[in-house]
A and B are shown apart, each in its own frame.
Chain A
Amino acid sequence: MDMTFGDAELAFQKEVRDFIAANLTPAMKRAEQLNASVFSEPETGVAWQRALNSKGWGAPGWPVEYGGPGWTPAQRWIFETEYSHAGVPSPSPMGVKMVGPVIIGFGSKEQKNYFLPRILSGEDYWCQGYSEPGSGSDLSSLKTRAVRDGDEYVINGTKIWTTHAHHANMMFALVRTSDEPRQQDGISFVLIDMKSPGITIRPILTIGGDHEVNQVFFDDVRIPVSNRVGDEGKGWTYGKYLLEFERGSGIASAKMREALQKVSALAESDATGRAIEDPDIAIRMSEAEVDIDALEMTELRVLSALQNGQNPGAVSSMLKLRTSEIYQAVTRLGVDVIGHDGLYVEPTRPLHHLNAAPAIPEAALAVVPKHLNGRAYTIFGGTSEIQRDIISKLVLGL
């Protein structure tokens, strides 16, 4: 057992570093520095996705035949790690990491041929139609209905917490196509053109001052039946498959380390009056760092198991649970680090569009928005309570 990289791995690490150095513009870097959300604004996210795609790195997790780079798990690890350290944009995962694997796994040949290249290139911008006002944790109780009419489905209902629906041109959604005794049955997985007549979007502002999420209404929206992925009534299976990708795309520790590094740099700067001199802050910094060490080791253990063709077990829920808690602890530490400047919240969004000099040092601008935004981390993608239910079932056999 060892944690060191071999020559081939070091060479790959250099290739990633070189790529980032050549493609990460100062404007992108600043936008990312000031980004309060868990993923980037489309303007930076899509630009970065295009750069990745031109290198053949648009979808690290995909099979080679669909445009994946064919990396080993260790290469993916190196890629994600370098990526996070460099402060690179985080493009929305809705296309590459979420709907992509579902289309690859269950879509028709036509769907694969049409959608996958458009995901890789960033041409299509996706959003997710899962939650509804009455169906949050109990997702399979969803009521948005798709009624078959010849070669079309007619969709009526509403979806909520739809991140970037106002930017997206496509939505993947779970809709009810029939009523069955078990509520998980009768659900189908469909792809909806957001320009379809009958769709209206209501913005929802969140506590950090961001407009990320929306409520989407469907009023006799027609989509072709050919936009259903897989079998009618099997959508729940596909949706769960996707959620596993959402929860445990596997490599989050590097992002957490980067988040902590930003807080640490702030604590060491004059902008915070060198908060790091406060022993309480210094020790909490170590606590967070050690938590990230543990997360990283767990990820590496999973990676080694994968590399040897073993099934790592039901760890995605455990990783989602801990990652979200660690992120919240790190952003909370950030709030303490900036002290009184935490009372100021800049209303401009996105923050990097701000032209006037802010009331507080720019380095501190995103700290409170990040913390407020981060409170959603233990809620989206299945709340921490739902993750604990899943872990108790899968890991503990309860």
Chain B
Amino acid sequence: MDLTPSDEQRMLRESADRFINETYTPKLREHNAKEPFGFSEAIWKQFADLGWLALPIAEEHGGIGGGAIEIGILMEAFGRGLVSEPYLSTVVLGAGLVAEHGRDEQKAALLPQIAEGKLRLAFAHAERAARANLARVDTTARKDRDHYVLDGSKVAVLDGASADRLIVSARLANNGSGSLRLFLVPRDAAGLTMSDYPRLGGGRACNCTLQGVRVPADAVLGGDSDAYPAVESVVDRALAAMSAEAVGMMQTLTDKTLDYTKVRKQFGKPLAANQVIRHRLTDMSVQVDEARSMALRAALKADAEPSERGRACSGAKAKIGNGARFVAEQSVQLHGGMGVTEELDVGAYFKRLLAFETLFGGSTHHYRRHAALSGRRV
């Protein structure tokens, strides 16, 4: 039992931190927000050159073979810099689903392209009526000889418009009661319409409508088996990655608020001279520390058996969600009037943390899932 980072992990942290401090400036964020896809192609190429896109991909597919800990190290730095490149969508979710559920020839064809930065994927899974219920999919896939025909609507497809292909989840026939399948759908497929929007806190997302979208039978990701276990597994790993990202944001907000309350004077003394402020800052830093512990736990359990993995990842999402809300709200509060303006970036972190809470279900949902996975009736 040892939680000390290896030399490789330390080096990864150093290079990620250096990148955020030197390259990913607030000016770059401003620039990215105006880009059509909400991020910079040049930075994406840099990610490829640094080996970050190859990080979790197996060595046999041109990757580095890293795990959830390494992803967490990178995501924490991305959180500090409010990075908007589609790392979660393409590398964690996209490559994750291909690696977890794809057929060998699909892995061999797709994963090296992702590692090189030549292919971007997006996961079109969530639906409005499903809310946070990962298992509910109303989109249907009807077999039509050697094709499938997809019909349904998807929401909050992260970075869908910038992806080369979507991974669309759908249930086989029977009005959605059948087995779950994943389909690789080209962005320009006939019958697929996207309504793209700038996402709360940076990056972009889209809602999709699929009307009679025809894909060949070999567009099914994986074989003839239910895809739900793979979806649950990959989304759990995404929860671990997002948890680390949230830690980076929470730490940055706490640091910024600490600095500000030391400098800002009222009644002839710094705000931080007041015990009520000091204790608030203490509670924020305790939340950051607990979040750090939970994100690490989720990463360490990312490859455990499903119920242990799910309990750790949902536990992290739930607890960090509540902690993130506290830290974000107190950061705005302690910055006073300036905290609600666009003149500081406190609001940018606030919004990104709010997006973190929303994605894949909030804290209540994940405490409920934790309880269910613990064998309690909820």
Contact = CB atoms under 8 A, between A and B. Distances in A.
Interface string A147-166: 00000000000000000000
A74 B1 contact: yes
B130 interface: no
Given A1-B4, A294-B319, A322 B290 contact: yes
Contact of B312 (A9, A293, A391): A293
Q: Is the interface of A mostly helix, strand, loop or mixed?
A: helix
A372 interface: no
A277 interface: yes
Nearest to B5: A1
B378 to A, nearest CB: 5
Contact of A396 (B282, B312, B368): B282
Interface of A: 1-6, 9, 74, 77, 276-277, 279, 282-283, 285-287, 289-291, 293-298, 300-301, 303-305, 307-308, 318, 321-322, 385, 388-389, 391-392, 395-396, 398
A269 B286 CA distance: 35
Interface stretch (B118-126, B212-220, B292-300, B335-343): B292-300
Contact of B4 (A4, A279, A298, A304): A304
B334 to A, nearest CB: 13
B4 A282 contact: no
Contact of A285 (B282, B296, B371): B371
Given A1-B5, A283-B368, A396-B285, A298 B290 contact: yes
A1 B4 CA distance: 6
B246 to A, nearest CB: 14
A391 B278 CA distance: 9
A258 B303 CA distance: 26
B69 interface: yes
Contacts of A293: 293-294, 297, 312, 315
Contacts of B258: 396, 398
A283 B292 CA distance: 22
Most central of B69, B262, B367 by chain A CB within 10 Å: B367
Given A294-B293, A322-B290, A3 B283 contact: no
In the complex, the 10 A-B pairs of residues with the closest C-beta atoms, listed nearest first:
A297-B293, A282-B376, A304-B3, A392-B278, A290-B315, A286-B371, A286-B370, A294-B290, A388-B282, A388-B279
Nearest to B300: A3
14 contacts: A1-B3, A1-B69, A2-B1, A3-B300, A279-B371, A282-B376, A285-B376, A287-B367, A294-B297, A297-B297, A298-B293, A301-B292, A318-B286, A392-B281
A286 B282 contact: no
A5 B290 contact: no
Given A1-B4, A321-B286, 20 more contacts: A1-B300, A279-B368, A286-B318, A286-B367, A286-B368, A286-B371, A289-B315, A289-B370, A293-B312, A294-B294, A298-B293, A301-B296, A303-B3, A322-B290, A388-B283, A392-B282, A395-B285, A396-B258, A398-B272, A398-B278
B367 A283 contact: yes
Contacts of A77: 1
A29 B272 CA distance: 49
Interface string B25-58: 0000000000000000000000000000000000
B145 interface: no
Given A290-B367, A298-B289, A396-B258, A1 B6 contact: yes
B297 A398 contact: no
A75 B50 CA distance: 40
A307 B4 CA distance: 9
A4 to B, nearest CB: 6
B9 interface: yes
Contacts of A283: 364, 367-368, 371, 378
B7 interface: no
Nearest to A322: B286
A307 to B, nearest CB: 7
Contacts of B283: 388
Nearest to A276: B376
A187 B169 CA distance: 71
Contact of B296 (A291, A297, A318): A297
Given A2-B1, A74-B1, A388-B282, A297 B294 contact: yes
B377 A277 contact: yes
Contacts of A282: 371, 376-378
Contacts of B5: 1
Interface in B97-155: none
B2 interface: yes
B225 interface: no
A301 B291 CA distance: 13
Contacts of B319: 290-291, 294
B174 interface: no
B281 A396 contact: yes
A104 B323 CA distance: 41
Contacts of A290: 294, 315, 318-319, 367, 370
Contacts of B2: 1-2, 304, 307
Nearest to A385: B279
Interface string B301-344: 10000000000100100110000000000000000000000000
A321 B290 CA distance: 12
A9 B370 contact: no
Nearest to A384: B279
Given A391-B286, A392-B279, A2 B376 contact: no
A300 B376 contact: no
B21 interface: no
A280 to B, nearest CB: 9
Contacts of A9: 1
B1 to A, nearest CB: 5
Contacts of A396: 258, 278, 281-282, 285
Contacts of B300: 1-3
A391 B3 CA distance: 24
